[in-house]
Amino acid sequence: MVAPVADRMDFPKAEEEILDYWKSINAFENSLRKAEGRPRYSFYDGPPFATGLPHYGHILAGTIKDTITRWAAMNGYYVERRFGWDCHGLPVEYEIDKLLGITKPADVLEIGIEKYNQECRNIVMRYSKDWENIVTRMGRWIDFKNDYKTMYPWFMESVWWVFKQLFDTGMVYKGFKVMPYSTGCNTPLSNFEAGQNYKDVVDPAVIVSFPIINNTDEAGVSLLAWTTTPWTLPSNLALCVNPTETYVKVRDEKRNKEFILMEKRLCSLYKTESEYTVSKRYKGTDLQGLKYEPLFNYFKHRGDTGAFTVLTDKYVTDASGTGIVHQAPYFGEDDYRVCLANGIITKDGELVCPVDECGRFTQPVEDFCGQYVKDADKEIIKMLKASKRLIDHQTIKHSYPFCWRSDTPLIYKAVPSWFVTVETIVDQLLENNSKSYWVPDFVKEKRFANWLKGARDWAVSRNRYWGTPLPLWISEDGEEIVCVGSIAELKKLSGESVEDIHRESVDHITIPSTQGKGVLRRVTEVFDCWFESGSMPYAQQHYPFQRKREFEESFPADFIAEGIDQTRGWFYTLLVLSTALFGKPAFKNLICNGLVLASDGSKMSKRKKNYPEPSLIVDKYGADAVRLYLINSPAVRGDGLKFKEDGVRDILKDVFLPWFNAYRYLVQNIERLQREEGIEFRHDETNWKLTDDYNYMDRWILSFTQSLIKFVRAEMAAYRLYTVVPRLIKFVENLTNWYVRMNRRRLKGDSGAADCQAAVETLFVVIYSMAKVMAPFTPFLAETFYRNLRNVIVGEVKEESVHFLMVPEPREELIDTNIEAAVSRMQSVIELGRVSRDRRTLPIKYPLKEVVVVNEDEGFLKEVESLRTYIIEELNVKSLTTTTDRAAFNVKMEAQGDSKALGIRLKKASKDVCKRIAGMSHEEICKLQDQGYIEVLGERVDVSEVRTKLVVEGSQNSHYEPNSDWQALVLLDCRVDESAKSEGLAREVTNRIQKLRKEAGLQPNDDISIYYEADKVLVEVVAQNQELINSAVKQPLLNKPPAAGDQVIISKEGKVKDYNLKVTLTARGNTVGMSFKTQSTGHQPKFCNISKDGEVATVVLEPQVGSGNFITYGSLCHLVKKIFNLKESPKLYKGSNRVTSSDNVADLDGIILAIGSGSVVATCSEPACRVVYAAKGEDVSAIVCENPVGKNKLTNTQVAELANCHDEGCKLYADIGLTNPL
């Protein structure tokens, strides 16, 4: 039997209970055990750093991952889900550097690498428990015990293996390149790391003069170059111009000097043409080879080898500056390339790179030595001004790269590094990218593909300490290199055994040279942590050393998901390594989510406190609400989400509460069937079929549910999570606002037991099916529903968790698209009619004469006619008229162009075309519909690109309130007569009673009496509409105040329109103080005694002796439940026969009923409980003074109060014969 459901649900508390339940049954572990032997669905979890707490971005990605993997598991797959941790690299080291006050590499060497790395170990899992708690609280099922950490030696060993495969195929080399460099972390970064943290900054923008020398034609003329990095000027070795652009020599009227700059860039220095005079024009090639005077003397000697010369290259553009770019080859990628190609520098020549690993100037730049380069800008500008080389000084706001970890400005700096060749496999990368499926697709086709097309060789080494060491041992002359691919290979080559392979464990190990070069020593670098995360498909399995079969069965991954920022991070490194190693992509399907922002669109900031803490939101609304809000957001489509608490609250209000109320209503009616009808509800999932007992609306909601299941399956196959929630919201609306509301009377049993069972069965099938379908999305709520509903399931194994079940396949035999279309049209008519009522301020309680539906489609009208009863009832009208005759109601058509479709096709012309369509006449619209197209402003417009609707013209039918959409025109006759007013008032009275019941917390099955006192008009209204009111409240209304001894539950008075009304609800059938009346002495009351586990109770069956009005079977069960404080409605037996709602309660008089089956029928001659009789004249009342026997006793004083024995002439007696006074 189902357990009763409270009126309200505390969603967060219920989720905590589910978490405890999952823990008690080892739910996740058991789900994996049950799935053993099924096909594998492989999933890779991108490893986060545990040095910070999870934020909404992590929660979003985690929710996507959990939803997809739960869905796969509930579709017959074995889904291994292992949590991963990124333990190495800058995030950890930066924290330790701050903690220990480390500012340069020498500081690390001073304390020792072993101690430094130990400090890193100590904090690397600082927040791991917080992560586990938050991830678990969000309902995510993932294995924390069998996790992987990038610092595990077995993980690192697989990273070595990956690198060795690349090395052995010639894809690894040592190079000297200009790279993004973090002065805050003292290490180069890869190009994709450099692109992760751009900020808008204000930098100096200077124009500097370079006087031409050794050229008599240009004596006294200076070349003008522009830069936003003055700190690179001390290292200038050349200038570069565009070979094909036009340059001009101008006389500066204000400065009385001659300058050369690009003609298109005169605006960089001059505001008007009057400020200069052009004296000569050149092509860029004309300037090639010109010599100029160096800005500084630090590297003046390089002029002897070709420096301080004008070069040409097409990378120089007319987009900014003067069109002449200064070249500092060791601080710019293009500078390095151009100077190397022109012989200004050589690969093995002297470096002009006077900046150390901390970003400070070194010798020979003596004027600024020791200064941080960015800080030196001011001093450099000051010196340029003093030497009269500074022509202009402004500032510029532009986007500039910052270190993603230290948040310090990056510089470009020439450093030696180990590279993995990527440029040679770009075509393969693009081909493999095309083999994967992305949501959203534009990220794959645009952003990611464009990044791949420009992919550079990958600098995989870092000059750091806490990471996987590069497994390269090299001779002193650099000519002999050995790449080690495993711990065993290292032992074989060196003779030393190690268990850990961090730097402190392997740096001292040497390998004998095979070429007579002494010993080989390991290079000092460690891997970029992105190389480790890109290796995780192999390293998490310790491939190829262990679990080789498991890896090969699960590669490529069926699914991965992370944020859009990983297009240049994890997604990229996964693809590069899988392509290089196996020639295939690392994943088949990918969901790329957008960023979660603060409500104002800014970045979430703990410092600004511009977003609510995730834990507080979960505690307030529950994890399911957060999950569904995130899944339904633009972020799942790759766009940004402005996080708003109201959005989470709306999910609770618009989806969960109505869904829960439908579930609660189902349980209440299952209980009512048991209690009042004696029908024990059971559902056979395997053998249940649709029969003639199911009405039109049953078939509709069943069809809609199966169509929804079909839709969700299709969308999940395409990994489109964001389309599911809108359909779920529509489903909940259809279920609660349409099906349940329109079938309340059936569900309550008003139309008979068989019809009631069909309605309850329908509601059960729908809610039970949706609990299974939505389990991956809302795991807590689905589990809550399932745990209760499974109690009435027969014919299949009752699993401990809904998550152990399979997502149901759609039952095609239940899908009827015609019924769905018809109901959709009915809903449209009803909603239009409701709006018309609202416009005229006519509450739905007041019946109206007629609703008219106008449509030229007879098929449409036929469908509306088939649902006439529902429309009449929902709009509370007396009749429904359908017609195709527009003229009778002065109806015409209006048209509106589909701006989206026309905009895509017609571009700018669409605006005028849409405007003309809106002005089309009725005849033109008819022509469009007849021929399927029409010419509009010279453009052919198809009927599919135009929407039409019917409208009423003029006011000749003013008593009709019109309303229309693109389906129909509805006319509501808004005249209200006296009978309508009377019925409306009766419904108002009914509404007051029902609200009072709800306010008192009463259940529909609670046994009460309803008393009312009102003005004469309302008394007449109630009398005229007694049947209508009784059918709703299930009790007669008594026009009098309650008796003095009645137990008042709630009483309220107020106004109904302009009339006074007081309603009082009292308890009927008290377990003690239970009374019954007779008109003369000697009439024995009708009663039965109830036996349970040695206790006996008494229930009065006829409150008014001799009246023939007996309590119902439901009231009997309710009273017994209350007397014995039972959790469920009792099963009563008369001997060995079960008492049900079909039994006559009057036949139970003098019977001893048992809770549980007995053997023979037992009888009794008097109540088992003590009864006191109160007599006043001919009226006699009897009061039950205990129940069960010996419990809940009343004193004589309490009995006297109940019997009103303070009245004159009222006396108490111990017997029905009134012979033994008290």
Answer whether 288's CB lies under 8 Å from 316's CB: no
The 8-class DSSP code of residue 55 comes to: -
Burial 736-773 (b: 16+ CB within 10 A, else e): bebbbebbeebbbbeeeeebbbbbbbbbbbbbbbbbbb
Nearest to 914 by CA among 873, 945, 956: 945
**E strands in 736-808:** 793-794
Which of 12, 22, 45, 47 is labelled catalytic? Answer: 47
Distance CA 756, CA 769 (A): 20
Q: What is the DSSP string of 276-316?
A: EEEEEEEEHHHHTT-EE--S-STTGGGGGGT-SEEEE-TT-
Nearest to 469 by CA among 458, 479, 477, 461: 461
The 8-class DSSP code of residue 941 comes to: E
Instruction: Give residue for tokens 């124009």.
Output: 207
Q: Residues 1209, 1212, 1216, 1219: is their CA dihedral positive or negative?
A: negative
Within 13 A of 329's CA, how many CA atoms are on the CB side?
27
Answer whether 1200's CB lies under 8 Å from 1176's CB: no
Which of 115, 300, 606, 1057 is labelled catalytic? Answer: 606
Give the number of other Cβ atoms within 10 Å of residue 1016's Cβ: 8
Answer whether 495's CB lies under 8 Å from 213's CB: no
Structure tokens at 1209: 């002439």
Give the number of other Cβ atoms within 10 Å of residue 1086's Cβ: 22
Tell me whether strands 596-597 and 458-459 are parallel, antiparallel or unpaired.
Answer: unpaired
Distance CA 972, CA 850 (A): 6
Nearest to 405 by CA among 662, 92, 867: 92
Q: What is the DSSP string of 95-161?
A: HHHHHHT--SHHHHHHH-HHHHHHHHHHHHTTTHHHHHHHHHHTT---EEEEEEETTSHHHHHHHHH
Q: What is the DSSP string of 964-1006?
A: E-SS-EEEEE----HHHHHHHHHHHHHHHHHHHHHHTT--TT-
Which of 603, 609, 1034, 1057 is labelled catalytic? Answer: 603
Cα dihedral 9→11→14→15 (10° resolution): 160
606 classed as catalytic: yes
Backbone torsions φ then ψ of 345, nearest 5 degrees: -130, 165
The 8-class DSSP code of residue 1187 comes to: S
Which of 71, 161, 570, 700 is labelled catalytic? Answer: 570
Answer whether 159's CB lies under 8 Å from 468's CB: yes
530 classed as catalytic: yes
The 8-class DSSP code of residue 507 comes to: T
98 classed as catalytic: no
Helix locations, 1000-1049, DSSP H: 1016-1024, 1026-1033
Which of 451, 530, 700, 738 is labelled catalytic? Answer: 530
428 classed as catalytic: no
Which of 371, 540, 541, 566 is labelled catalytic? Answer: 566
Tell me whether strands 238-241 and 309-312 are parallel, antiparallel or unpaired.
Answer: parallel
Distance CA 789, CA 712 (A): 22
At position 317, the amino acid (one-letter code) is T
Distance CA 946, CA 916 (A): 12
Q: Residues 688, 689, 695, 698: is their CA dihedral positive or negative?
A: positive
Which of 45, 66, 86, 755 is labelled catalytic? Answer: 86
Distance CA 554, CA 587 (A): 10
Give how far the C-alpha of residue 846 lies from the chain's centroid of Cα atoms, to the nearest Å: 42
45 classed as catalytic: no
Answer whether 609's CB lies under 8 Å from 120's CB: no
- Residues catalogued as catalytic: 47, 86, 530, 566, 570, 603, 606
